[in-house]
Structure formats: C-alpha cells, structure tokens
Structure 1
Amino acid sequence: MFTPSRPDRVNDPVVKRVQVLRTVVGLVAVTWVSLSYGLAADADAVVDDRFDQIRTTLIVLGVTCPIALAAFIAAARPPNRRLFLRRVGKPAGALLALVVALAVPRLITGLGYVDENTNWTASGGRVALLFALGAFLLWLAPFVLYGIAQALVHVFRAADLHETVPPLLATLLVWELALFDVFRGAYDGVPVGVRAAFILGAPLTVTAVAMWELRRLRTRHGLTLRAALLR
C-alpha cells in the first residue's frame, strides 16, 4: 500500500543505505542533544518528542504532497503529462489510505456508538461488537504504524510518478519543517550555535543526499528532471 510498485522503477540500494545511515545518525544526535541539554527528562520524553515531530511531518507532507505532485504534472509536457496523470493514482491512494486509517478510530467514537459509558455486557450484540472492534484495532494499529514509516520513507509512493520526485519532495518537506522549528522555538535553551546546527542539520543533510541521488539517477540511469518534464 505504501511502497512504490512500478515495474520499471529504478531502485538504487546504495541510495537507500545512505538514507538509512543519515536517519540513524540524526536520531542519535537529536537524542544526545535532548538529554545533554535537559530538553527531555528521559528516553521516554525523547520518544514522545519524536512522535510529535512525526505527526507534524505527516500533516505537512499530507498538505505538500498533493500540491507538489500537481505542480510536477502541470509542468510536464505531453505526452508525459498524460503518463504522469495515469501514474498519480497510486501516490494518491497511499495518502488516502493513511488518512482513512488514522480517521477510523475517531469516527467510531465520534458517531456515538462507542464511548467511555458504553455498557458492553448489555446484550450479546454489544459483546460481539466489542470483539469485532478489538480484532479490527489489533490489525489497524500495526498497519498504521508501519504505514506511517513507509509513507515517510517513500514519500507516499512518489517514485511511482517518477524517480526524481522523491528527492525533490523530501527536500521541500524538510525545509518546511525547519521553518516550523524556527517559529516554534525548537531546541530553546541550548547554545545558539548548537541550536542552529540542529535546526539546519536535517535540511542540509537531506538536501545533500537528495542532490547526490539526483546525480546518481542522471549519471547511472540517465534519468533527469528536465527529461521527465520534456523541457
């Protein structure tokens, strides 16, 4: 549901390893700063902060992704524009699937059928509903968690549109998040130099990896943004 599946898509394992390494180094560095400068009381607080960041990332990505994909398709010339319009269904489906999966629990409680005052033993039907909801949530929880991870890694299957889109979209996203960090005062209380390094660290490294990925696509696979747009 959340991983690209276009048969002729270029999949470079070297790029994937570099992306994973960058992510691991970034997480270790952020954890060290959070604990060293008292931004988080313990490891649990660091995890909570990362989950808050993931939620913000998903919101920003959910807004940015459709706009960026629409702009990419609009910028392409025929016949590639028609080709990309046919391909955009899978990225759009991945975004819709995650939105629906995240909304389902709130819909269940919001409809008034289930709340803290529900008497589950009032009837056999409610007992059956309890088991059905329990089984559904047992399936939904790992689906959502794994889907979030895959959606962030693969930028909502943007590679199904074209291989050059994920690095460009990831770069746009990470600079947007850096602006959020500036406005919300992230890492407040640490030395100015350290704060600047960590606010700029993610966008600069993601941009560097993205530019390197685009270069590999051009030199090793003959794929460029200009060729994709027929410009």
Structure 2
Amino acid sequence: MHTSTTDRVEDKLITGMQLARTVLGLVAAVWLVAAYPLSGDGEKFLLGKLLELAFSCGILAVGSILGITVFLVASTPDRRRDFAGRLRGPISAALMLAAGPLCIWMSVKALKGDLIDGEDLKDIFSTVTGPGIICTVLAFLVLAIGWLAALAVLLGSSVYTLLATYACVFTCFLARDVHPLLPALISPLLVWSLFAFQMFNGPDVAAPPEVLYTFMLGGPLSVTALSVWEVRRLRIRHGITLRAALGH
C-alpha cells in the first residue's frame, strides 16, 4: 500500500475486486446475449447500449459533482482547501471526455461543408493564382484532403469517445482523487439508476423472467455489496471514515 496523504490510499484488493466485478458483469452480459435472442433488431440493441453508456456517464457526472460538492461544503475550511486542490483529476477527466464529442461535432460540420466550402477555397486561392483552372484544382484537392481528414477524425474521435466514456464510468470521473470514499458512495447511485432505466426501457433479450430479473438485479446488488465492503475495508484497514474525511 502506498499513501501520499493520510486519506489517500492505493488498495490493490479494492481495485482488484472492482475489476473482477466489471469483468464478471461483462461476461454475464455476453452470455445473456449469446444464450437468448434479442428482443429487437441488432441496430436497436447497439443504439440502446450506446444510450445506456451515455446515461451512465451522465448519472456519474451528476453524482460526482454532487458528491464532491457535498465534501467541499460539509468539510472544515482546512479540508475544503485540501479537497479543492485535488480537483485536477476529475476536471481533467471531464475535459478529456468533452474533447471527443467536440471533435465529432467539428468533423461532421467539416464533412457537411459548413466550415468551409469549395467556393470559399476558390476565392482564397484566386487571390494568389488568379481566377482560372489552377485555383479550381487547388480548391478541389484541398477540399478532398480535408474531407478525408475530417472522416478520419470522425472515426477516431468516435472510438475515443466510447473509450473515454467507459473510462470515466469505470473510474467515477476520478472521484477517488478527491477522496477514496467517493467512488463507493457514488457507484450505487449509478447502478440503481441503470436498473430503473432498464426497467423503463424494456429488456434487451427475450429471456425467461427469472433469468432476466436475476441478471438485472445482480449488477445493482453486487455493486452495492461491494461498496459497503469497500467502505468497511477503508474504515478498518486504513482508518478512513466519512466523519474524519470532513475533518469533524
């Protein structure tokens, strides 16, 4: 175990348990999809999963902001300054996530010709080469290269956004950088919100009710149990409690 401050810990068992639960959840999800037919077509399933990931990210963003805000407001002035100095991680995670959709938006605008079009390029090159075939060819070449570059950026930023979103969900927007208790307190909010979302959105597969609801409840219950265990381990093993965290 490495500690940088009295309430900053790196517990390999906690990290390992979180990773194991995530892997088991993914394996169970893959098995469920493989064992039973989809309730809709593949496109609907994929869009549903993307929407679910976006919903998870939004819930965690709100939960992280609320959790960090509570820590800042409820803590003593000394602890408040300490927590404020640890916000670099969550802010960096949020900015890195926002960079993906921004690149997607810019590349789509470029592909649609909303940023610059052929006539604009011809006007620019005509000031150098004069009107004629040369400026037209140059405008076409630049437009073609720009279109290919924008397409590459769109594909790359789409993959980046998916990976960044999953990383932000898995790390709770690096809320642990502020205090190790925050992920354990925020995670149950996410999983039970997802459970409500899935209940409202309907099942992805045509599985028997006992299998379907066991699977749907397995995630929230396991994450909640893991969070309770994590809070207990932080208290017993590392002496970290909510009251001490706030400086009271």
Alignment TM class, shorter chain as reference: 0.7 to 0.9
Q: Supply the AA of the counterpart residue of 2:224.
A: T
Gaps of 5+ in 2: 122-136
Q: Provide the C-alpha distance between the structure 1 equivalents of 2:190 and 2:208, rounded to a whole number of angstroms.
A: 26
Q: Provide the C-alpha distance between the structure 2 equivalents of 1:64 and 1:107, rounded to a whole number of angstroms.
A: 29
1:49-68 superposed matches below 5 A: 50-68=49-67
Q: 1:116 to 1:161 in 2, by over 3 A?
A: same
Gaps of 5+ in 1: 1-5
Task: Give the TM-score, by structure 1 length.
Answer: 0.79
Q: Supply the AA of the counterpart residue of 2:203.
A: A
| Match in the other structure for 1:191 | 208
Q: Supply the AA of the counterpart residue of 1:225.
A: L
Q: CA RMSD in A?
A: 3.2
| Match in the other structure for 2:232 | 215
Q: Provide the C-alpha distance between the structure 1 equivalents of 2:193 and 2:142, rounded to a whole number of angstroms.
A: 48
Shift of 1:116: 7.6
1:68-87 superposed matches below 5 A: 68-87=67-86
Shift of 1:141: 5.0
1:1-231 superposed matches below 5 A: 7-8=4-5, 9-39=8-38, 50-110=49-109, 113-115=110-112, 122-130=139-147, 132-133=149-150, 136=153, 140=157, 143-187=160-204, 189-231=206-248
| Match in the other structure for 1:3 | none
Shift of 1:187: 4.8
Q: Provide the C-alpha distance between the structure 1 equivalents of 2:142 and 2:204, rounded to a whole number of angstroms.
A: 51
- Identity of counterpart residues, as a percentage? 33
Q: Provide the C-alpha distance between the structure 2 equivalents of 1:37 and 1:82, rounded to a whole number of angstroms.
A: 53
Do 1:35 and 1:41's aligned partners in 2 also have CA atoms closer than 8 Å?
Answer: no
- Which structure would you say has the larger Rg? 2
Task: Give the TM-score, by structure 2 length.
Answer: 0.75
Which is worse superposed, 135-144 or 53-62?
135-144
Do 2:176 and 2:182's aligned partners in 1 also have CA atoms closer than 8 Å?
Answer: yes
Shift of 1:58: 1.6
Secondary structure of the corresponding residue to residue 162 of structure 1: coil
Shift of 1:230: 2.4
Q: Supply the AA of the counterpart residue of 1:195.
A: L
Shift of 1:82: 2.3
Which is worse superposed, 92-101 or 48-57?
48-57
Q: Provide the C-alpha distance between the structure 1 equivalents of 2:43 and 2:144, rounded to a whole number of angstroms.
A: 35
Q: 1:20 to 1:41 in 2, by over 3 A?
A: farther
Q: Provide the C-alpha distance between the structure 1 equivalents of 2:225 and 2:20, rounded to a whole number of angstroms.
A: 13
Q: 1:85 to 1:45 in 2, by over 3 A?
A: same
Do 1:168 and 1:210's aligned partners in 2 also have CA atoms closer than 8 Å?
Answer: yes
Q: How many residues align?
A: 224
| Match in the other structure for 2:127 | none
Q: Which one has a larger percent helix, Structure 1 or Structure 2?
A: 2
